[in-house]
C-alpha cells in the first residue's frame, strides 16, 4: 500500500486539514444550536437544505470519511502492520465500509435537497 | 505474560508487555484516549447516520429520532459520546498545536494533557447541563 494515495506526508496533511475544517464546522454548528430555540422537522430540513449549509455539511462528511481513513489506517498499521494479508484485508474492508457510508450520506443529502 | 521483559524476535530489543503494570504518563493517557475515542466514534457512526436520516425523513421520523435521543439509555450513551467527542476534539487541537511546534517540550506537553482532561470534563458538564 506504500504507493497508494493518502499515505505518508499526504495522509498526515489530509488528517490535519480535515481536522481543521471539521473544527470550524463544529464551532459554527455549536453557535447555531445554542442560538436556536427548539426546532421542528420542517425547520430542520430547511436548515439542511440551505445551499451554503448543505455544501458545508457535505464537505464535513467528506472530511470526516477521509479523517477516518487516515486514523483507522494508522490503527491497523500499528496492530496488524507485520501481517501483510491481514493488513490488506482490513484496509480493503475499511475502504469499502467508508465508501458505503459515503454513498449513504450522499443519498441523505440528495433526499434533503429534493 | 509471565516473563515481564522479553526480547522482541524481530530486532532483539527488550519488549515490556504487561499492560496492567505499565504506568502510562498523562501524555500517554491523553494519547491512547485520543485513539480509543476515535475508534469508538467510528463504530457508532452508522447509528448516528441512521438517526440523521430518520430525523430528516419525515415529521414522524423526526419525532421518533427525538424520542429515541431523549430516552434514558440513549441519553447516557449521548453523554458518553459527548465526552468522547470533546476529548477527541481537544486532544486533536493539542496535536495541531504541537505540529506548529507549540508545547512539544515535556513540561508544556504535560500541562496541555491535563488541560485536555480537565477541559473535557468542564465542557461535558456545561453542555450536559444544557441538554439534560
**Model pLDDT for residues B117-128, shown as the tens digit of each residue:** 999 999 999 998
Select the residue from A9, A11, A41, A69 to test the B interface by mutation, using most B Cβ atoms within 10 A. A41
Select from B35, B49, B99 the Cβ nearest to the Cβ of A101.
B49
Give the Å distances, CA to CA, from B119 to A61, B98, B107, B112, B128: 26, 17, 18, 10, 14
Q: Give B45's contacts (C-beta < 8 A, 6+ positions apart).
A: A68, A101
* Cα of B6 to nearest chain A Cα, Å: 18
Residue B62 has its nearest CB partner, among A34, A41, A108, at A41
A16 and B96 in contact by Cβ < 8 A? yes
ipTM of predicted complex: 0.90
Q: Which residue has the cell 434514558?
A: B72
What tens-digit pLDDT sequence spans chain B (132 residues)? 444 556 666 667 776 677 777 788 999 999 999 999 999 999 999 999 999 999 999 999 999 999 999 899 999 999 999 999 999 999 999 999 999 988 889 999 999 999 999 999 999 999 988 877
What is the Cα–Cα distance from B5 to B17, expressed in whole angstroms? 7
State CA B97 to chain mean position distance.
18
Chain A hits for B61, CB-CB cut-off 8 Å, are 41
Intra-chain end-to-end CA distance of chain B, in Å = 45
A40 vs B: CB within 8 A? yes
Of B38, B52, B63, the CB nearest to A108: B52
Residues 6 or more apart from B75 whose CB is under 8 A from it?
B69, B132
- pLDDT band per the 50, 70, 90 thresholds, residue A109: very high
Cell 496492567 sits on residue: B20
The per-residue pLDDT for range A67-107, each reduced to its tens digit, is 999 999 999 999 998 899 999 999 999 999 999 999 999 99
Question: How many contacts, defined by CB atoms under 8 Å, are there between A and B?
Answer: 51
Q: Are B36 and B80 in contact (CB under 8 A)?
A: no
Contacting residues of B for A41, CB less than 8 Å apart: 55, 58-59, 61-63
Radius of gyration over every alpha carbon of chain A, rounded to an integer in angstroms: 17
Amino acid at each position: 500500500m506504500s504507493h497508494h494515495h493518502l499515505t505518508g506526508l499526504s495522509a498526515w496533511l489530509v488528517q490535519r486539514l480535515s481536522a481543521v475544517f471539521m473544527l470550524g464546522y463544529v464551532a459554527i454548528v455549536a453557535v447555531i444550536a445554542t442560538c436556536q430555540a427548539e426546532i421542528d422537522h420542517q425547520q430542520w430540513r430547511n436548515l439542511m437544505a440551505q445551499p451554503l449549509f448543505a455544501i458545508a455539511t457535505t464537505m464535513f462528511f467528506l472530511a470526516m470519511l477521509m479523517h477516518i481513513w487516515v486514523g483507522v489506517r494508522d490503527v491497523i498499521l500499528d496492530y496488524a502492520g507485520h501481517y501483510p494479508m491481514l493488513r490488506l484485508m482490513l484496509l480493503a474492508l475499511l475502504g469499502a465500509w467508508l465508501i458505503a457510508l459515503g454513498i449513504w450520506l450522499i443519498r441523505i443529502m440528495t433526499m434533503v435537497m429534493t | 505474560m509471565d516473563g515481564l521483559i522479553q526480547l522482541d524476535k524481530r530486532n532483539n530489543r527488550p519488549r515490556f508487555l504487561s499492560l496492567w503494570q505499565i504506568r502510562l504518563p498523562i501524555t500517554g493517557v491523553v494519547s491512547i484516549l485520543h485513539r480509543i475515542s476515535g475508534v469508538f466514534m467510528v463504530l457508532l457512526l452508522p447509528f448516528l447516520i441512521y438517526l440523521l436520516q430518520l430525523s430528516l425523513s419525515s415529521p414522524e421520523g423526526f419525532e421518533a429520532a427525538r424520542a429515541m435521543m431523549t430516552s434514558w439509555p440513549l441519553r447516557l450513551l449521548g453523554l458518553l459520546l459527548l465526552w468522547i467527542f470533546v476529548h477527541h476534539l481537544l486532544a486533536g487541537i493539542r496535536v495541531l498545536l504541537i505540529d506548529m511546534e507549540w508545547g512539544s517540550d515535556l513540561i508544556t506537553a504535560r500541562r496541555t494533557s491535563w488541560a485536555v482532561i480537565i477541559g473535557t470534563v468542564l465542557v461535558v458538564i456545561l453542555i450536559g447541563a444544557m441538554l439534560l
